[in-house]
Amino acid sequence: MRVPGFEYRRVEVEGVGIHCAVGGDGPPLLLLHGYPQTHLIWHRVAPVLAAEYTVVLADLRGYGDSDKPEPGPGDAEYAKRAIARDQLLLMRALGFERFGVAGHDRGGRVGHRLALDFPAAVAALAVLDIVPTRYTFAHADKEFGLGYYHWFFLAAGNGIPERLIGADPEFWVSARMSARHHGGTPFDPAAMAEYVRCFSDPAAIRASCSDYRAAASADLADDDVDAAAGRKVGCPTLALWGEHSFVGRSYDVPAAWREYATDVRGEALPCDHYLPEEQPDRTAAALRTFFTPLHPGK
């Protein structure tokens, strides 16, 4: 499955191949996916935005058809700092020095780090159905442990999650996603088949576990340094979330983001976790309203 009207490319950034698709014309906008998906989460939203923007859809390192480096001690290869640098270099390779970023789930965390580490590059940031990683761990309780058990399961060591997920990756992907869908548009079967295809690669399972291990270690350390320095996201920031999602039910989302960003606005959509697939029209409209006045330059 491919997003219609988009040109597919593979771009090498410091030895890591990033799979991406580019479409449209206008100010550049980078869209990032989450777990356990690929750039195809945007397949209903990207063509709408491409009417006004040059839209770049990227598979994060470790996911989709991007490269999956072997993780070393500490999983630094999958820290958000490393993944964010991939995306900065991707956009530079495509000719864009300053751009908007919208990220869902893990992609939102990459976008958050990208805006912190490279503020001159990110004109505006949209984060979909997340609160900051550091905030999440600081407020973890029984409900979080039950609702987001996968954060702890995937971060477990000794190859445990890799072995268990690898025994039936199709079940894991479909069960995890169906448990977090509430009304709206059903998942596209072709997109689901692509998620399963990509996630059936043992290297993808290993990389995604490293992503979550890094979140509980290297990412937290980086976030603590920023917090101690009083460093926040300085660009305009939009938080979108599903009113039926764990995030929407559990947090005051704009208030959480105001601890980490200086200019925050937010809106709940009538869905669960997968906003671009469950509510594509409303997601596209919210992103257009947010990004259009900002005109990030090429």
Quote the CA–CA distance of 10 and 166 in Å, as a whole number. 27
Report which secondary-structure segment, H or E, holds 101. strand 99-104
User: Token pair for residue 229?
Assistant: 């320095």
Catalytic residue among 19, 33, 181, 273: 273
Closest of 80, 37, 81, 27 to residue 58, by C-alpha: 37
User: Token pair for residue 37?
Assistant: 């998906």
Catalytic residue among 65, 67, 75, 105: 105
Known catalytic residue: 117?
Answer: no
Neighbour tally for 146: CB within 10 Å: 9
Quote the CA–CA distance of 147 and 77 in Å, as a whole number. 27
Quote the CA–CA distance of 112 and 215 in Å, as a whole number. 13
Place of tokens 């940031």: 125
3 state DSSP class of 189 = helix
3 state DSSP class of 267 = strand
Known catalytic residue: 105?
Answer: yes
Residues with catalytic function:
105, 273
